[in-house]
Amino acid sequence: MNSSRTLYQKHIDSHTVCNLDDQGHVLLYIDRQVANEYTSPQAFSGMREAGRQVWRPGATLAVVDHVNPTTPTRTATMPDAGGARQVSYFEENCRDFGIELFDVLDKRQGIEHVVAPEQGFILPGMVVAAGDSHTTTYGALGAFGFGIGTSEIEHVLASQTLVYKRLKTMRVTVSGRLGTGITSKDIIMALIENIGASGATGYAIEFAGPAIDDLSVEARMTICNMAVEAGARGAFMAPDDKVFAYLQSRPRAPQGELWEQAVAQWRTLRSDEGAVFDREVTLDVGDLQPMVTWGTSPDQAAPVGSQVPDPAAQPDLILRQGMQRALNYMGLEPGMLLSELSISHAFIGSCTNARIEDLRDVARVVRGKRVAAHVRAMIVPGSTLVRDQAESEGLAQIFLDAGFEWRQSGCSMCLAMNDDVLAPGDRCASSTNRNFEGRQGAGARTHLMSPAMVAAAAITGHLTDVRSFALEA
C-alpha cells in the first residue's frame, strides 16, 4: 500500500477531528476565518437567535470590502441604504462578539484576500474558510483556503469546525519560461480555457513545476485565486523560501524562535515523493500569448491575436448553444479580431489583480502615455496599504498623469455591489476574475485579462497585445 500523501491530504489529515462516515466526510478543524459585511449577516443573526457565542473570536478577522464606495476621497458614509445597513450590522456584530474589524477608515482596510495575507493572518499549513469563493487565494502561501456558505460561516463561528467532504486531487505541472509581457493571469486563463469551467470540479489542485517556482508570491496568488473558475474547491502550492520571505515581516507572523520553528515545520509541507494524484495535467507556457476572454465564462478565452470563434465549429450541442448565447450577449460575430474590439471602460482591481506588483506592471505600460479619449479608466488598489505604497513609489502620479482614476480600496467594479457599475452595452477590459452576464452591471460586457493588458487597452482604446508596448524592466 502506498503511504505517500499529497499536500492536500496532509492538510486534511492534520485537521480532521474525526471521520464521520466511509464516504469521505470528516469534522474538519478550521484555523482561521475571514468575514465580510456581505456574506456574514445571516450567520451572525443565527448566532444571536440561538444564544451562542463565538468560540474563538481571535480566529476570525473581519473586513469591510464588498459594498463600500471607492471614491478617491475616503468616506465612511455608505451612499446605498442597503449597504449602509450591512456595514452597520457588521460593526455591531463584531463589537458584540469580540471580533477584530478593519472598517473602511482603518489604514489596514481592503479586499479580504489582499488584506489577510499582507497582515500575516494566513500562514502555511493552515486551513482557512471564508464566505467568498476566492478564498482559494491562500493556497499560494501553502495554506488550504476554500469558500463556504452562510450556514457554514455560522458553524465555524460557533465551533471552529465544519462538516467537510474530502476532494479528489489534481496536480497541474507548469513548465516553460514566460515571455515578456506574459503573466500568471495568462497561465491560469490558459489552464481554464484548456480544462473548462468545470474541469476541476470536485478536485483540489496542486500547482507545481519550474514555471510556478519562478513566480513571485503575489503572482502565485492570482493563479490560486482563479483556480475556482475551473471548478476547483481548493488550490495549493508548496511553500518555499519566497513564501517565507514574504511572510517574515508581516505584523501577525511568528517572531524570533517561534519563527524558526515555524519555518522548519513549513518546509515539510509538500507532497511526498511517489504521492498519487487522481488526475495529472501538464501545461507548457513557453509559447503562451496574452489571454483575453471573448465570452461570458472564464473558459471562453483565447490569445489576444486570435479571432472570435465560430460556434458552428463546436460539435457539442450544449457547448455550441452556450457559445452562441455568449456571442449574442457580448455583441460579437465569429471571425472578428479580438485585437480590434473597442472598449469603453478599463478596470484594474479585485482580489485577483490589485496588489503592488500588479500596479507596477501597469505603471510600466502607461508611463508617459494617455488613456484614449473615449475610455473611462479606473484603478482600485487591493488595500489601503497597497494604495499608500503605490503613492510612496510614485506609481499613483503616473496613473493620474495618464488619465486614470486613482481610487480607494474595495471590491468595486469586480462585482458592482457599490456605485462602480457599468451601463448596458458598456465594454470593459478588466483585471477581475469573472465575466458572467451582468457581473459588472446589467447588460455590461466584460473581457478578462492581466492588469498590463488592461492598461494597454486603456491607452489604445481597444483590446491590444501588451507586447506591442516597449515595456521597461
What's the rounded Cα separation, in Å, for the pair 85 and 104? 14
Comparing CA positions, the residue from 228, 215, 168 lying closest to residue 187 is 215
Comparing CA positions, the residue from 83, 79, 86, 63 lying closest to residue 417 is 83
Q: In this structure, which topology does domain 297-468 adopt according to CATH?
A: Aconitase; domain 3 (3.30.499)
C-beta atoms surrounding 367 within 10 Å: 15
pLDDT tens by residue, 167-187: 999 999 999 999 999 999 999
Beta strands in 44-97 (DSSP E): 60-63
pLDDT tens by residue, 299-308: 999 999 999 9
Beta strands in 258-364 (DSSP E): 279-284, 291-293, 301-303, 345-348
What's the rounded Cα separation, in Å, for the pair 303 and 450? 12
User: What residue ranges of the chain are covered by domains with CATH 3.30.499.10?
Assistant: 7-166, 297-468
Report whether 155 contacts 131 (CB < 8 A).
Answer: no
Q: What is the pLDDT of residue 471?
A: 64
On whether the pTM is more than 0.95, the answer is yes
Low-confidence ranges of the chain (pLDDT < 50): 473
Q: What is the pLDDT of residue 359?
A: 98
What's the rounded Cα separation, in Å, for the pair 155 and 165? 15
Residues 6+ apart with CB under 8 A from 174: 187, 207, 208, 209, 210, 211, 212, 282, 283, 284, 285
Cell output for 6: 499529497
Phi/psi of residue 205, nearest 5 degrees: -95, 135
The CATH class, in words, for 7-166 is alpha beta
Q: What is the pLDDT of residue 472?
A: 56
pLDDT tens by residue, 116-164: 999 999 999 999 999 999 999 999 999 999 999 999 999 999 999 999 9
